[in-house]
């Protein structure tokens, strides 16, 4: 039984809640209707449960199952892009996404954890002997992740006009390197993907092979969206909310606090990123690895930021890298 939850949040703009197999347990996708155009923003994962919930929502709204004309994805993560192939094949909709996100997605699908990544974990103090037990993210998601190739690569400042909809693309790197939010100009609505969320702070991690300073990118993207006037934010997780500037500033302050906390943790002695993560995020070696690993990547994003500012130094200690406040 599918438990579709759909609501018109603005005339012709619908929020659809789709189930996820992990926390957060719901992703919001949005359907925008104007004239003959039905635009879907983000897709959910490719599971029978999610597709059934989506179909029920379509029926409730009055959009035919093959009625979608466009699909736009904010970024490459499975809950946003994972069902793009299924929906595109069924409807013939044109698919829009940032090129960078598509390139990351192409790499994401490839199975095994490389030796480079293992070395990266060891260097940063992750207890790797436990970590090899669980599947890599790519293996975990592979069954629900069936992305399609975009028909068009969206770029910063581009305005997509579909019917009466004027959708401005705003690139907001940070959560992912090519993350985009969408600004509906006439309605002044901001579809924020995972960039701006009401209850949780978006994950910002430093990954081997990824951008050098993702937290700096993310904080700049939080300032960037404040240049727009917004009536309502339509996030990918949690409820809609009005004051995007207030929330963006809260998120900036959260990270400033976190940065200071990390400095304090390494004032007297050098520590690995994993140890700093334990102290600042409150996990330990007994916590679920699905908590420990992302928190370590997030710690590293903060350390990269501090290192670029000259506020921490790195020291080699055997096969590990230690961080110490300057």
Binding residues (CB under 5 A) for Zn ion: these are 77, 194
User: Cα separation of 224 and 204, whole Å?
Assistant: 17
Q: How far is the CB of 37 from Zn ion (least distance, A)?
A: 26
Q: Which is nearer to Zn ion, 74 or 187 (CB)?
A: 74
Please say which residue, 234 or 312, places its beta carbon nearer to Zn ion.
234
Measured in degrees and rounded to the nearest 5, phi and psi for residue 321 equal: -105, 130
Q: Shortest approach of Zn ion to residue 194 CB, angstroms?
A: 4
Shortest CB 175 distance to Zn ion, Å: 6
Task: Report which of 44, 13, 11 is spatially closest to residue 30, judged by C-alpha positions.
Answer: 13
Q: Which is nearer to Zn ion, 37 or 194 (CB)?
A: 194
Of the pair 12, 193, the CB lying nearest Zn ion is at: 193
H or E segment to which residue 14 belongs: strand 13-19
Distance CA 67, CA 87 (A): 10
Cβ 202 to Zn ion, closest distance in Å? 7
Q: Which is nearer to Zn ion, 202 or 277 (CB)?
A: 202
Tokens linked to 102: 């598509």
Residue 116 beta carbon to Zn ion: minimum distance, rounded to whole angstroms: 23
Taking the least distance from each CB to Zn ion, the nearer of 33 and 146 is 146
Smallest separation, CB 66 to Zn ion (Å): 27
Strands 94-97 and 70-72: parallel
- Compute the distance between CA of residue 167 and CA of residue 260 in angstroms, rounded to an integer: 38
CA distances from 123 to 40, 46, 282, 294, 312 (A): 42, 35, 21, 16, 17
CA 15/CA 89 separation, integer angstroms: 22
Question: In angstroms, rounded to a whole number, what is the distance separating the alpha carbons of residues 309 and 318?
Answer: 25
101 versus 194: smaller Cβ distance to Zn ion: 194
193 contacts: CB under 8 Å, gap ≥ 6: 42, 74, 75, 80, 172, 175, 179, 180, 181, 182, 235, 236
Structure tokens at 210: 């990824």
Q: Which is nearer to Zn ion, 194 or 298 (CB)?
A: 194
């Amino acid at each position: 039984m599918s438990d579709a939850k759909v609501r018109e949040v603005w005339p012709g703009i619908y929020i659809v809640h789709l189930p996820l197999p992990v926390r957060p347990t719901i992703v919001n996708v949005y359907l925008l209707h104007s004239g003959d155009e039905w635009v879907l923003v983000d897709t959910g994962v490719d599971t029978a449960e999610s597709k059934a919930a989506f179909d029920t929502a379509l029926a409730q709204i009055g959009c035919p199952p093959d009625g979608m004309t466009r699909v736009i994805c904010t970024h490459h993560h499975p809950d946003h892009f994972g069902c793009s192939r299924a929906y595109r094949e069924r409807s013939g909709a044109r698919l829009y996404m940032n090129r960078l996100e598509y390139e990351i997605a192409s790499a994401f699908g490839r199975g095994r954890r490389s030796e480079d990544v293992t070395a990266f974990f060891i260097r940063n103090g992750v207890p790797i002997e436990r970590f090899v037990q669980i599947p890599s993210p790519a293996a975990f998601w592979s069954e629900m992740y069936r992305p399609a190739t975009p028909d068009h690569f969206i770029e910063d400042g581009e305005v997509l006009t579909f019917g009466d909809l004027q959708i401005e693309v705003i690139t907001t790197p940070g959560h992912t390197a090519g993350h985009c939010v969408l600004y509906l100009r006439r309605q002044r609505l901001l579809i924020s993907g995972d960039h701006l969320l009401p209850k949780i702070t978006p994950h910002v991690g430093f990954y081997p092979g990824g951008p050098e300073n993702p937290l700096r990118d993310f904080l700049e993207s939080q300032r960037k969206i404040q240049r727009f006037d917004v009536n309502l934010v339509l996030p990918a997780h949690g409820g809609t909310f009005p004051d995007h500037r207030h929330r963006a500033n809260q998120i900036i302050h959260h990270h400033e606090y976190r940065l200071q906390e990390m400095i304090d943790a390494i004032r007297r002695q050098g520590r690995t990123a994993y140890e700093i993560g334990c102290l600042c995020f409150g996990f330990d070696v007994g916590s679920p690895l699905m908590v420990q690993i992302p928190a370590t990547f997030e710690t590293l994003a903060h350390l990269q930021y501090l290192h670029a500012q000259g506020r921490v130094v790195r020291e080699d200690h055997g096969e590990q890298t230690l961080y110490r406040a300057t």
